[in-house]
Amino acid sequence: MSGDIIKGPELLKESLRLAKEIGDRLSIARTSNSVGNFYSDSAVFDKAIEAYMTYYNISKEVGYAAGVEAAAANLGILYCDLDQDEMSIKYLEEALRVAEEINDRHGIGRAKFILGALYFGRLEDYVKAEGSRRYARDTISC
């Protein structure tokens, strides 16, 4: 199993190389997201941000709204983990806005939940936290 984990980054690099070789921008974006996840999980945060920004920028360029939402959410979560609250809020609010535009209930709930936790736990803005919590609960429940 550990050999499989070691192969992961190499396979992602190969996938990214092939996507670049054939000029498939969407595959470059999606693979960059996976690279960002790998680096985030490995606590190599500067590389994770770089990869998520590639996903974000290409998704914007090609009009892939779901990619913009996912990349913004990933950046918001990562910046939250790094205690960079302003950047976290910036990206989470963008993720929320895009999720609402494309009617992505999961994305709406995720962004509201994380914003609520951030407002409540670190910023102690209880009014915003309660609004986010209530909205997330109502969005996620069926």
**Domains annotated on the chain, with CATH:** 1-63 (no CATH), 72-142 (1.25.40)
Contact in structure between 59 and 71 (CB atoms under 8 Å): yes
Q: Three-state DSSP class for 67?
A: helix
pLDDT per residue over 71-95, tens digit each?
999 999 999 999 999 999 999 999 9
pLDDT per residue over 85-132, tens digit each?
999 999 999 999 999 999 999 999 999 988 888 877 665 544 554 554
For the CA atoms of the chain, what is the radius of gyration? 16
Contact in structure between 76 and 57 (CB atoms under 8 Å): no
Query: How far is residue 56's CA from residue 112's CA, in Å, rounded to a whole number?
Result: 20
What is the pTM (predicted TM-score) of this model?
A: 0.81
